[in-house]
Amino acid sequence: MHAPSYAQDEDPETGQVAERRGSRDGHVDVAVVVVTYHSVDDVRRLLLSLPSSAPGLSLRVIVVDNASADGTVEAIREFPDVTCVEVGANLGYAGAINIGRAYAAPCSAVLILNPDLTIEPGSVRRLFEAMSDPGTGAVVPLMLDQHGCLYRSVRRDPSILRALGDALFGNHLPGRPGWLSEIVRQENRYGERRSVDWATGAAVLVSAACDDQVGPWDERFFLYSEETDYLARVRAAGWRVDFVPDARVCHRERGSGHAPALDRLMAVNRIRYYVKVHPGPSRHLFRGAVVLHELLRARWPVHRDVLSTVVSRSAWTSLPGPQRGEKRE
């Protein structure tokens, strides 16, 4: 297999891309941080899609592996321009992102990616260009699922009313008011660039200035809600989060596998995030809305499992969390 280089120059007259070796030193336009965990079936496709997604941009690609045991690291090593950081344990998504950020500078922007993505040609370039608008701190692309259908990736800030609306109506009444749904469900809202509260963290480009100001991702979330927290802090620091629909990625959900414990963790981390932002009495109402969501769907075993965890705080300590190991490159 020919492993591509990630730093490229575009001839301004011919428009052709001339490849040159990706640089591990010196300034690059975009530092790409990919977090892997048992991702051998996906990471090659992602890495192969990167060069055509960023014509004219120089890239530094860092893959942080959370102790995969399926050949993921060997697949990454096929790409000599890619820095592979083996952390020796599962630090979670936020923890691994923070490791990758330490390898990113100097750069103009940091692109965070799940391994189970492929990126359409030119899309990283479009995200990078969108970043040039004053006040833009982070940008997110339009996301498609593995069947090429729109994935409703844009979200609103969590609130009690939104949690109740999603509990009661789920995917029904997609046109309901925004104060009754955390997910932006209306398809026509995905057709134009606009500022958003947050979006799923599978693909997000952050300017270096914003990354420096906002700082590390919160590792207490391990997986799920870390992007909710990070992009809320981006906005709290005075930056915008923009949705850029002409940049497109395809997301094969749960490409690193799935376990029932992750469904439980997703629900609990929703509560943990709300409590972090709203530590007062309203936290009990939000938790109640999450309980109601699972209770109304308790005929399905997965929701009964989640419900039993959400109502029992003692069960939260058994959920997946960061491990520690010896980092090696």
Structure confidence at residue 9 (pLDDT): 41
* 3.50.50.60, 1.10.10.10, 3.90.1150.10, 3.90.550.10: CATH of 7-158+186-251: 3.90.550.10
CA–CA distance, 84 with 100 (Å, rounded to integer): 10
| Residue % of the chain over a pLDDT of 90 | 84
CA–CA distance, 315 with 329 (Å, rounded to integer): 36
- Map tokens 């609130």 to a residue: 159
Structure confidence at residue 326 (pLDDT): 53
Under the banding of pLDDT at 50, 70 and 90, the label for residue 80 is very high
| Residue % of the chain over a pLDDT of 70 | 89
Closest CA relative to residue 169, chosen from 292, 260, 13, 60: 292
Under the banding of pLDDT at 50, 70 and 90, the label for residue 21 is very low
Closest CA relative to residue 32, chosen from 55, 7, 62, 54: 62
Q: Which two tokens stand for residue 26?
A: 């010196």
Structure confidence at residue 321 (pLDDT): 85
The conformation of residue 178, written as its DSSP 8-state character, comes to G
Mean pLDDT of the chain: 90
Give the pLDDT confidence of 209-252 residue by residue, as tens digits: 999 999 999 999 999 999 999 999 999 999 999 999 999 999 98
Give the pLDDT confidence of 116-161 residue by residue, as tens digits: 999 999 999 999 999 999 999 999 999 999 899 999 999 999 999 9
* pLDDT, greater one: 19 or 226: 226
Structure confidence at residue 306 (pLDDT): 96
Contact 232, 177 (CB under 8 A): no
Domain ranges of the chain: 7-158+186-251
Contact 161, 187 (CB under 8 A): no
CA–CA distance, 287 with 275 (Å, rounded to integer): 9
Residue 105 has pLDDT above 60, yes or no: yes
Closest CA relative to residue 170, chosen from 296, 267, 308: 296
Contact 103, 22 (CB under 8 A): no
Contact 140, 199 (CB under 8 A): yes
How many CA atoms, within 13 angstroms, populate the side-chain half-sphere of residue 156? 18
Give the pLDDT confidence of 240-298 residue by residue, as tens digits: 999 999 999 999 875 545 678 899 999 999 999 999 999 999 999 999 999 999 999 99
* pLDDT, greater one: 3 or 77: 77
Helix axes of 226-236 and 260-277: crossing angle, nearest 10 degrees:
30
To the question of pTM greater than 0.85 for the whole model, the response is yes
Under the banding of pLDDT at 50, 70 and 90, the label for residue 16 is very low
